[in-house]
Structure 1
Amino acid sequence: MKTLFLSALISFSATAQDMDVVGSLKVGQMPIDNAANKVVVQKADGKLGTRDLNSLAAAPADTSRSLGSDLDIFKTFCSCPPENMPPSMIRKLRESGYSEEDLSLMGVSEQQIRRSKPVVDGDGNVYEVMKVVVQEVGTFYVLKENLKTTKFNDGTVIAGNLPASGWVNAAATQTPAWAYPENNAVNKDKYGLLYNGYVLTEGKNACPLGWTPANNSDLMNIGSSTAEYFRAVGTDTWDFPNSGNNFSGLNVPGAGGIEIDGDDVAFRIAAVFHSYQVNPSSGDIMSTTVLKDSETVTQNDKPKAYGGSIRCVSISW
């Protein structure tokens, strides 16, 4: 199994009371209690103290003043040059009124600014992102939930919520289609939607702009071939008993699938991920299956008429 390292995007949450600090701390550094929402500042009496990051950028930026000491403190707090500033910090600056032009002048790249914005699909669903670093493969990013959209990212509507006969007809006409897991709309938020193979093979992309459906090797690189690494913990989205430990961070729910005749199958006991790859000899979709009662993830082909989940990845986000 390839060694892998997973890291989530940085967030700032803790708080602390203002306090004088001494020792080797310098202006702009984090205080010694590691309160992530505070930064060391020079007080009016000359002593060092702490100040809430939210108040540092309370006033919106305007053209009549320079970016000034507030941004200098943010940069020092980050202990990194602007080009390495994390998305959470850039998001805080943007929410405080600094424009993208301000950030660009400061040295923040277009990619960093893009990463500070929500990842949104064609329906407006917002997704969290996980960074993945795999030895011998490199760095890529994956959405932490199954795809939920009913539109391609160019705005084209995908046929959906079809009766069994409609699902069969979609396959016969090679029409992209989606369905609710277990044919129940309340399952969308937890499990995402299920898509037939034509959603992935008809020249359009349902993932958010800049993202593509994961292929089989992407998923294996994240979670190896161990099924319990993929499965979400507990019985919220899997039947009892579930030994899933979510070591991969993918938090995979048991969304089940849709058979070619339109029947719902394996809800809460399996997860099937469609790849955008097609087996050239059979024309079927190359898919990855995670079962509740199996120790090993399997990869096999599914007919394009079969409904499975989609997980989106990016190498350039």
Structure 2
Amino acid sequence: MTLNPCLDKTLTVPAWKPGDSVRGRSVREVVGGKGNNVVRALKRLGQSAAPVTFLGGAVGERCRQLFGEEGMEPIAVATAAPTREILTVSTEGTADQSAFFDPDPAITPTEADELIAKADAALRQPGVEALTLSGSSPSPATHGVYSELISIAGARRVPVFLDTYGPSLDAIWGFWPTVVQMNRREAAMRLRKPAASDEDVFGLLREWSRRGVAWGVVTDGPGAVFARMGDVLLGATPPQIEVKNPIGSGDSMLAGLVDARLRGMDPESALRRAVACAAANASVWDAGAIDPELVARLESEIEIEVEAA
């Protein structure tokens, strides 16, 4: 599920400076949003997955078309507010890029309730093995959607994988997901601190475990990944790669955690799979377009430290 999807447009341009009239070399469009990236990565790992999201206006219709071109069948609620666009301007021959975001859409309470109902109906279908909840909440009406779906999925015995922050994370109480993932910046936001130390991260992992979270993971870009999985604490050092585009690496990591849990991997192997998926994503431009063969090669390059929690 993605509460705040977008039409992600990348415009490639020659070298330029502010004030220039710049003619683009090419334009690429893809349906963006963290959960949609998770779907792409899961499909490349051999899993079946469907995006659940809001789509509105002409931009939303374009997103439906692009989903179809990728072989995805979205479970979507039509909204009065148009789906946002994100324009990324990439300067040819360099790593320079700038992203320009539309404002978040105003989702109504009725639309939010309809998305919950559609997700509930999907969870009742046979063969559903996991629910992922990814990204930010665009408006007050959607802040509690993830919390409600964690409760619903728990009643259906469907494991939930959560990657969110801000109001949608603050709204969670009582029932917690099976897996929680966030980056260190989001962890600092959760702790109301300017930055999160290693001890802060370990404390957060302990807190999640007390709340019933089976796997808790905190990432730090190319830095060390810390995880608590059951009764073990793990640290992982990502492999060295040539970075092309880090966007979507966290989403690919979540997909790796889902894939590992569905395949019954032990904690060390699961974290190795997840970190390899994140690195494989950063080595290509399109978010979630991971190469399973590269994932397998990178797994052997990841250093894991394990100690009793």
TM-score range, shorter chain: under 0.3
Tell me the TM-score normalized by structure 2: 0.27
Answer 1 or 2: which has greater helix percent.
2
Tell me the TM-score normalized by structure 1: 0.27
Is the radius of gyration larger for structure 1 or structure 2? 1
